[in-house]
Amino acid sequence: MDTALDMRIEDRFVTIDGLNIRYIERGEGAAVILLQGASIGSSADVFLGNLGPLAEGGRRVIAYDQPGFGLSDNPDDYGVPYRRDFILKFMDALGLETAALVGHSQAGAMALGVALGNPERLSHVIVAAGGSALPPLPPLPKDAGDAGDAKAATATAAPVEGREGAPSVPTIEDTRKLLEANLYHVDLITEDALALRHSRSLGKNFEAFLARGNLPSKGGGGATPVWQRLGEIKVPLMLIYGREDRADAAARAELLKQQQPGLNIHIVEGCKHMLPWDAAAEFHRLAKDFLAG
């Protein structure tokens, strides 16, 4: 399991909406854009160990710091819809008519939103550990007892995508604990990986984290949940989840398989929420086979 950070990758920048946006890339060929999740400290660097392997076989694999993350400028609008629409703006800025999208965590729903609204711009969509793409589990029977109550409490306590963290400047140990909570293979937290993640959690990135946390949470009403619209997606779609991921993700993925047996869904053993790290080899294999097909 080789997930070493490739520190040789050159930072590149492009101006979009007046914002300086940093991106990194490997390879040449059909474009594949990797979209990081939204927890504090997340950035394109999440994919430093994935760019090279995914570029094998003739692909241009790109990851960018979304506005308010990493080395990209903070935006005026911190909402998810802005970052979803920004994906197409980024593609336009790089002259990409079409691309495959790989959305990790909260970015999975963003990738699905682009697929629903602008399918002509996409060749494929991969959702990696995106909880919004999964249905809720049915209510436990009233006679489930204490075990059922404990299970329900655990699911309820799972962090909302993009809001993991505390309202105070994180220490290096806070960053370590957040990584440990989201990794099955905690030995992947090298000193370099920890230092890089922590550096992306401070300063203007911490300010952006607080701003995102102050946005109103979506209620239960309103738009149809994205998992109920998966059948409308007209581009090839694959969903990948870790068996040990939070919020009963594996059980919900199994339920989705039953509800929509035509979907391409994979559950990876020995993997929590940071799927591109925990299950790098399987992630690369599944993604490359899917994109080639």
Instruction: Note the pLDDT of residue 5.
Output: 61
66-103 per-position pLDDT tens digit:
999 999 999 999 999 999 999 999 999 999 999 999 99
128-154 per-position pLDDT tens digit:
999 999 999 998 776 655 555 545 444
Asked if residue 287 belongs to a domain, the reply is: yes
Asked if residue 142 belongs to a domain, the reply is: no
Which domain range does residue 103 map to?
12-137+150-215+227-292
Asked if residue 41 belongs to a domain, the reply is: yes
Asked if residue 144 belongs to a domain, the reply is: no
Instruction: Note the pLDDT of residue 1.
Output: 40
Q: How far apart are CA 181 and CA 199, in angstroms?
A: 19
pTM score of the predicted model: 0.92
Token code pair at residue 86: 């920004």
**CB-CB neighbours of 34 under 10 Å:** 27
Question: Does residue 27 come out as left (phi exceeding 0), alpha (psi in the -120 to 50 range) or beta?
Answer: left
Instruction: Note the pLDDT of residue 163.
Output: 64
CATH code of the domain covering residue 173: 3.40.50.1820
Instruction: Note the pLDDT of residue 140.
Output: 76
Asked if residue 143 belongs to a domain, the reply is: no
Asked if residue 127 belongs to a domain, the reply is: yes
Instruction: Note the pLDDT of residue 223.
Output: 84
Q: How far apart are CA 179 and CA 207, in angstroms?
A: 20
Asked if residue 6 belongs to a domain, the reply is: no
Asked if residue 3 belongs to a domain, the reply is: no
How much of the chain exceeds pLDDT 70, in percent?
88
1-57 per-position pLDDT tens digit:
445 566 678 999 999 999 999 999 999 999 999 999 999 999 999 999 999 999 998
Number of compact structural domains in the chain: 1
